[in-house]
A and B are shown apart, each in its own frame.
Chain A
Amino acid sequence: MQSSPNMLTKFESKSSRAKGIAFHPKRPWILVSLHSSTIQLWDYRMGTLIDRFEEHDGPVRGIDFHPTQPMFVSGGDDYKIKVWNYQTRRCMFTLNGHLDYVRTVFFHHELPWILSASDDQTIRIWNWQNRSLICTMTGHNHYVMCAQFHPTEDLIASASLDQSVRIWDISGLRKKHSAPTTISFEDQMARANPGQADMFGNTDAVVKFVLEGHDRGVNWVSFHPTLPLIVSAGDDRLIKLWRMSDTKAWEVDTCRGHFQNASACLFHPHQDLILSVGEDKTIRCWDLNKRTSVQSFKRDLDRFWVIAAHPEINLFAAGHDTGVMVFKLERERPASAVYQNQLFYITKEKHVKSYDFGKNVESPPMLSLRKLGSPWVPPRTLSYNPAERAILVTSPTDGGVYELIHLPRDATGAVEPTDVKRGQGTSAVFVARNRFAVFSQGNQQVDIKDLSNATTKSIKPPVGTTDIYFGGTGCLLFITPTSVVLFDIQQKKQLAELTVSGVKYVVWSNDGLYAALLSKHNVTIVTKTLEQVSSLHETIRIKSAAWDDAGVLLYSTLNHVKYSLLNGDNGIIRTLDQTVYLVKVKGRSVYCLDRSAKPRVLDIDPTEYRFKLALVKRNYDEMLQIIKTSSLVGQSIISYLQKKGYPEIALQFVQDPQTRFELALECGNLEVAIEMARELDRPNLWNRLGVEALAHGNHQTVEMAYQKQRNFDKLSFLYLATGDQEKLSRMAKIAEHRGDFTSRFQNAIYRGDVEDRIQMFKEVDLYPLAYLTAKSHGLTEEAESILEACGLTEDQITLSKIDEPLRVPQPIVPTFKANWPVKAAAHSSFEKALLGEVGAGDDEVAAIEFEPEEEDEVAAARDNFEEEEEDVAGWDMGDEINVEEDAEFVDVESAEAGAGSTEADLWARNSPLAADHVAAGSFETAMQLLNRQVGAVNFAPLKPRFMEIYKGSKTYLPASAGLPPLVNYVRRTVDETDSRKVLPVIPRDLETIANVDLQEGYAAMRANKLEDGVKIFKGILHSILLNTVSSEAEVEQAKKIIATAREYILAMSIELERRSLSTDTPEGLKRSLELSAYFTIPKLEVAHRQLALMAAMKFAFANKNYSSALSFANRMLANGGSPKLLEQARKIKMQSERSPQDKIDIEFDQFAEFDICAASYTPIYGGSPSVSDPFTGAKYHEQFKGTVCRISEVTEIGAPASGLRLFVPGQY
């Protein structure tokens, strides 16, 4: 018998002998009753002891949680059954009655009953609500070791040392205790004539079956959760399986294997397995259907006494001599691999499926791996090879096996794979397109194998390696218990080593630059060269991780999804109600597999980590975007910003003035600080503001702060320092007013105001000082008068020698007028963006010069235009372009097919389109085609387009050293290999022209850069002339673009012509007026036509051509648009209507339909002879026939032409 590689211990406790165990149905709790009289309550997930209950006297053997109420029951060797409330942590009451040890206690799943089994040979049922004994079942004639309720029916199973198992029917008891109102006549009859009463006349609980088969005492009995099966464990070392029907019960089979007393046994809640434990120190697992041993687990020293299963999840607990272990039988992590938009995973049925992240659909099963490993062992890992569409699956069975299987092209169902390559190995991963590595832990060797499963190379990994992972192309990561080693397979060289212990999983970022090393409680982020970037610790077990595209790691613990930036900043994204394994992050969705191997999508709010990421990358635009679009405010983000040294950004979020003030000071934003100080107006704040402002040299603010604080001394000194004499004297006045002599004296000194000083001395009767002052400043008269006032003469006083009086220097620079100049505080682009400075100004610089005051209108018109841009339905498509499908297939002369002809030759042969001939380098034939299709004669302007197409047609692949590179031809038919169908790629496809070039042209129109505009639109014409499209619809689109380009070129040329004219002469003025009128004729986008109309209207109005102005105004009003624009039109209309006459007669019939000749810029009225250009459809007077089209500059006006071909059905 093999020992189990799969038993995964989740929790172990150390204590005295554990006799009873109970799982909490919802919380990660387990109750353990000990031989030492203690009951322990553990959180097995966190590994912490939550509580201890110690009221029993002697060993406690029975224990059970109530399924819904916050209580549990215990039974011990003190004959007592105790019911506890774990919230109040008290024993609520004790049920007395048993006369010997109580072996097991269980709650009924719905009734308020407790079932107990005792050494007094009875089984009792108690009602815990009225705390009474309601039934005593006698019949066993030895200790009853175990008694359990049936999970759904009114049955009880009991096991006794009298070697029997009994099944009891308690339906009578239920009837008796259910509501008495529904007693029917039959019931009364039945009660009156107790047919099945036992010898004491007891009908409440009667023995239904006695199962005899064990040769020794029976220790445990369990019902199957759904099937009519019973399993029992006895001192005869056997596990016996019994089946029952309504009328009988019989032994089915025996599981032999325990070599000591079997203590307990149960059915696996979800799988066809039996688990048993025994005093032979083993946990054994049996196949329910075959009754063979599936696996076993042995402890060295401890005998097992009890086993329990979690009712919901895949967890078991077993009690032994020195504690309890909680374990699962198998890994629940589904094997999976992600490649681009696909997830490959193995279901519980061992089917390989894929999941498309783009469409969010599961594929049907693609393969069945039923034969891989043993039936009870799920595959461990899956590695996917996109180049070969193969998977590599490992299973831990038999010390590890791997299989290499090619996936079928289409998922057609769970077929058995054909052509499977297999071998022995602990781990196996693809390391390159055609190589995989197999690691065998037993002999510590890594074999590099090719796809035929032949070993090409062998590597000795570092000592103690436990696992291998893909390490980037051509490299492997060796995982040892204390380190991770990056190894180059080709050079057989260790590239790097990182000391990080206990790594279990490695998750590579999508761009392959970073990897996350996951261990039980740590995530270490490393670069692809194995340099540690950051590391973080979790107290809760880490289960899985996935990278989002921006380089943020999302990881799941048992109960949370969290994120970590590269710098180690982390936080919680959401909680989880069940364990999941992340596989991919896409936008707001996290894809994961749950424990039943079903793909699930979790919605997350990525705002927080995106914001932090933007902050780290200083991507302020994105931050701004996030702030604007989400409700990201709150203390946490502010303190985060502050802590990370971004007070100026935090400032933008804060509303609270106090906090704003603090932040403003911190980032030196005085304006905001002043604003907030005003709002709060507290001396303390003004004081701090003053200090800060002083440091900035912002003395005006300092002044204000001092004023607010009424800090006169400082204020005076500030005025002195800044040389503000005027204010200083005002300060003196204030001091005088306040009667503050010290201050007044000081101010006087500051100002050098001797008179005031003397005056003050006199006022305070300090005549000697007053005299001295006067005397020393040479104010003799004043001195005399002081003496006089004191009634003294000069002889009566003695004076020391008088020095030169103090002269206060006069300020030279009027510093007070302005603050100390500082370099303008650099507003971060973030702040700018917030203040709306970014983006606004830049594109508006392109002023329109039709009329200066039109700027606003243009902007408005642009807005308007942008709304209408999508709407091309209203376009008049202009004249027909003859695109006919009958253009003959051009016969290109070339060498015979087959050997030696280049792909370029094939292109020319495969296509009748000019663009394809250009790409093939066959310029002559291309020109022939164009000449025939659109009458092209002047090819010079097309040269850049020719060269562009030609240059883009070939790549240069360096091959052998010393030889020129291999030339390969770039195709637009990427999937095509048939040489008769390959076609070249043509740069600037229709989509680019429509989305990029055309918009540039419009922008040029808006910005009034007409010369550029003409160039751009001509470029568009040339790009379309040599191009290919993929559908008839695109041909139509191309025609529309040609027409648009034509109209714009015509309009712009007319306006350019007008600008080149002088209006000084009457002829010039007349022609100008005409041209400005013609400018309104071409079919431009409405917003652009409004510009033309506006210009024409104003020009006509200014020259008193009111009739024309009126017609333009009317057309503008009919077009609608921005109110401002229309307002002007209305004004002009009103004015013009007063005298609707033209002062200068111009050739412009506002009521007639006409075209404009693109050469002479004169009208071509309907009916008059004209010719048109075969390519652009531009109209000309007849005299221009045979010249080069002014619009396209390539084609000949009026030339015979079959029409431009851009598309061959079935070709693309």
Chain B
Amino acid sequence: MDPFSAEGELINIHNAFHQGQYPAVIEFDTSALSPENQLPARILQLRAQIALGQSDAVLADVAGEEDTPDLAAVKALAQHTAGDANSAYTLAQELAENYPDNSSVQVLAGTVLQAQGHSEEALALLTKHQGNLEAVALIVQIHLHQNRSDLALKEVQAAKRWAQDSLLVNLAESWVGLRVGGEKYQAAFYVYEELASAPSTAAPLSIVGQAVAELHLGRLPEAEAALSAALETYPDEAELIANAIVLNVLAGKSTEDLEQRLQKTQPLHPLMSDAQEKSALFDAAAAKYAPRVSA
């Protein structure tokens, strides 16, 4: 039986991870789990630690256990987030070659490969999965990243046939929905709203999702309510800040404070790097024009 399925004992920790409730994952009591589920649970906890930026602790934790491919994959991801891109890439490639059927390897090495821009390699590895929903979600995200929402949609619909109710499939469907738009915005909104409003599943991740959906639906006041409430609870959440900047721009409000905050928490956030790049582009383009007579 799939340990992540609705009746499996890992369902709660698994869902918590994908809802972005990383502290809850780390604090999850794994002692009651059956022996074969101990490793997956540990992997999830290590990944949660990485997501919280504790890569060094994770590296120390898995040191000496690289023989287990799952843990080696964790190491690759930790190396990547710690900034050691080259070793991470090498390790990920190696793992992809030797253990292409290990689901942890698929997901984690796939993540590393994609994050370093090797989308084709990542896809090649991930498509070897056998009913691994995390892999499906990654594939969807990679397709979306490549602006192939048609392929992403296909992937989601295929997954829905065998795992209609899984949280991950729902989330992946929402990702696609937010790209496709129209009525799908509302559907995505419902998914995130449901997650964000239930006390047991509320996390920055779901609130951001809800707010983003509201933004796309043009419901700025609602989005603002969601974001500002969330920012009070999670003042350092980069995605919250980034989307709050977008919201304030759309609402015609000042964004300087928020931009400074984002600069502080995550200087490499795409919004910041993108804006810098465009700023340079603007200057370059503007330099081509000049009045015939300078005043």
> A and B: partners?
yes
Q: Name the CB-closest residue of B to A493.
A: B200
Contact partner, A1186, options B47, B180, B293, Cβ 8 Å: B293
The interface stretch among B32-40, B61-69, B241-249 is B241-249
> B290 → chain A, closest Cβ, in Å?
6
Is B130 at the interface (CB under 8 A from chain A)?
no
B141 touches A959 (CB 8 A): yes
The answer for the CA separation of A880 and B147 in the assembled complex, in Å, is 44
Q: Would B285 and A923 count as touching, CB distance under 8 A?
A: yes
Judging by beta carbons under 8 Å apart, are B111 and A963 in contact? yes
Provided the pairs A923-B281, A939-B289, A976-B182 are in contact, do residues A987 and B252 lie with their beta carbons within 8 angstroms? yes
Q: Are B249 and A974 in contact (CB under 8 A)?
A: no
Residues of A with C-beta under 8 A to B145: 966
Contact B250 A987 (CB under 8 A): yes
Q: List 24 A-B contacts (CB under 8 A).
A: A386-B190, A473-B198, A488-B199, A899-B146, A900-B148, A902-B147, A937-B290, A947-B275, A950-B278, A954-B246, A956-B270, A957-B175, A957-B178, A958-B20, A959-B141, A962-B51, A962-B112, A963-B114, A964-B270, A975-B182, A982-B181, A987-B250, A988-B252, A996-B252
Query: Which residues of the partner chain B approach A1188 to less than 8 Å between Cβ atoms?
Result: 291, 295
Our count of residue pairs bridging A and B at CB distance below 8 angstroms stands at 221
List which B144-189 residues lie within 8 A (CB) of chain A.
Answer: 144-148, 150, 164-165, 171, 175, 178-187
Does B224 have its Cβ within 8 Å of any Cβ on chain A?
no
Residues B188-223 near A (CB distance < 8 A): 190-191, 193-194, 197-201, 205, 208-209, 212, 215-218
Report which of A472, A901, A948, A972 forms a contact with B198, defined as CB distance below 8 A: A472
For the complex of A and B, list the 3 residue pairs with the smallest distance between their C-beta atoms, beginning with the closest: A1186-B293, A939-B286, A952-B249
Assembly CA distance A987 to B220 (angstroms): 11
- Residues A387 and B270 in contact, CB atoms below 8 Å apart: no
Q: Is the CB of B197 within 8 A of A473?
A: yes
How many Å lie between the Cα of A938 and that of B295 in the bound state? 11
Instruction: Give B73-96 as 1s and 0s: 1 = Cβ < 8 Å from A's Cβ atoms.
Output: 000010011000000000000000
**B26 interfacial contact with A, CB 8 Å:** no
Q: Is the CB of A387 within 8 A of B190?
A: yes
Closest to A950 in B: B278
**CB contact under 8 A between A943 and B200, given known A901-B147, A956-B270, A987-B252:** no
CA distance A950 to B12 in the complex (A): 40
Given the known interface contacts A971-B181, A988-B252, the answer about A958 and B205 at a Cβ–Cβ threshold of 8 Å is: yes
The interface residues of chain A lying within 8 Å CB-to-CB of B198 are 472-475, 488, 490
Give 1 or 0 for each of A287-303: 1 = CB within 8 Å of chain B CB. Answer: 00000000000000000
- Give the residues in chain A near B141, CB-CB below 8 Å: 959-960, 963, 966
Question: Hey, what's the 0/1 contact readout for B109-147 against A, CB within 8 Å counting as 1?
Answer: 001101100000000000000000010011001001111
Report how far A972 CA is from B216 CA in the complex, Å. Answer: 8
Cα(A931)–Cα(B114), bound, Å: 41
Q: Check if A927 sits within 8 Å of B285, measured CB to CB.
A: yes
Instruction: Collect the chain B residues with CB atoms within 8 Å of residue A988's CB.
Output: 252
- Asked whether B252 lies within 8 Å of A977 as measured between CB atoms, the reply is no
> Counting CB contacts under 8 A, is B15 at the interface?
yes
* Chain A residues whose C-beta falls within 8 Å of the C-beta of B164 in the assembled complex: 450
Give Cα A41–Cα B275 distance, bound, in whole angstroms: 83
Interface size class of B (residues with CB under 8 A): 35 or more
Q: Which residue in chain A gives the minimum CB-CB distance to B200? A: A488
Give the interface residue-count category, chain A.
Answer: 35 or more
* Residue A832 lies at the interface, judged by CB distance under 8 Å to chain B: no
Whether A956 and B178, one on each chain, are in contact in the complex, defined by CB atoms closer than 8 angstroms, is no
Q: Considering residues B145, B150, B184, which has the most beta carbons from chain A within 10 angstroms of its beta carbon?
A: B145
Does B263 sit at the interface, judged by CB under 8 A? Answer: no
Complex CA–CA separation, A903 to B77 (angstroms)? 30
* A1187 close to B (CB within 8 Å): yes
Quick one: closest B residue to A993, CB to CB?
B252
CA A1026 to CA B180, docked complex, whole Å:
26
Q: How far does the alpha carbon of A952 sit from the alpha carbon of B47 in the complex, in Å?
A: 32
The verdict on A456 contacting chain B, using a C-beta distance below 8 Å, is yes
Residues of A contacting B293 in the complex (Cβ-Cβ under 8 angstroms): 1185-1187
User: Any chain A CB within 8 A of the CB of B271?
Assistant: yes
Q: Is the CB of B137 within 8 A of A959?
A: yes
Are A992 and B182 interface neighbours, CB within 8 A?
Answer: no
Assess whether A968 is in contact with B178, with CB atoms less than 8 Å apart.
Answer: yes
Pair A491/B182 contact, Cβ less than 8 Å = no
Residues of B within 8 A of A987 (CB): 249-252
Residues of A within 8 A of B138 (CB): 960, 963
A393 CA to B199 CA in the complex, in Å?
A: 28
Tell me, in angstroms, the Cα distance from A967 to B175 when the chains sit together.
10
- A529: Cβ under 8 A from any B Cβ: yes
CA distance A529 to B202 in the complex (A): 14
Smallest CB gap from A997: residue in B: B252
A432 adjacent to chain B (CB < 8 Å):
yes
A943 to B80, CA, bound (A): 36
**Across the interface, do A985 and B218 meet the contact criterion of CB distance under 8 Å?**
yes
Complex: A927 Cα to B47 Cα, angstroms: 46
**Do the beta carbons of B275 and A950 come within 8 Å of each other?**
yes
Q: Does A239 contact B (CB under 8 A)?
A: no
The answer to whether A473 touches B275 (Cβ under 8 A) is no
- In the bound complex, how far is the Cα of B47 from the Cα of A387, in angstroms? 33
Cβ-based interface call for A759 (8 A): no
Known: A433-B190, A961-B111, A962-B111. 17 other contacts (CB 8 A): A432-B194, A472-B199, A529-B199, A937-B289, A939-B282, A946-B278, A947-B278, A954-B274, A955-B212, A961-B20, A962-B80, A962-B112, A965-B242, A966-B145, A970-B215, A987-B252, A1186-B293
Query: Contact between A957 and B181 (Cβ–Cβ < 8 Å)?
Result: no
A965 in contact with B182 given A450-B165, A959-B141, A960-B111 (CB within 8 Å):
no
Residues of A within 8 A of B278 (CB): 921, 923, 946-947, 950
Would you call B194 and A474 a contact (CB within 8 A)?
yes
Closest Cβ neighbor of A959 among chain B residues: B141
Give the distance in Å from the alpha carbon of A490 to the alpha carbon of B209 in the complex: 20
Chain B residues contacting A1196 (CB-CB under 8 Å) are 291-292
Report B254 CB to chain A, min CB distance, Å. 11
Chain B CB within 8 A of A606 CB: no
Contact call A951/B239, Cβ cutoff below 8 A: no
Selected from A902, A960, A977, the residue in CB contact (under 8 A) with B180 is A977
When distances are taken between beta carbons in the complex, the residues of chain A under 8 Å from B178 are: 955, 957, 966, 968
Contact (Cβ within 8 A) A955 B215: yes
Are the C-beta atoms of A970 and B175 separated by less than 8 Å? no
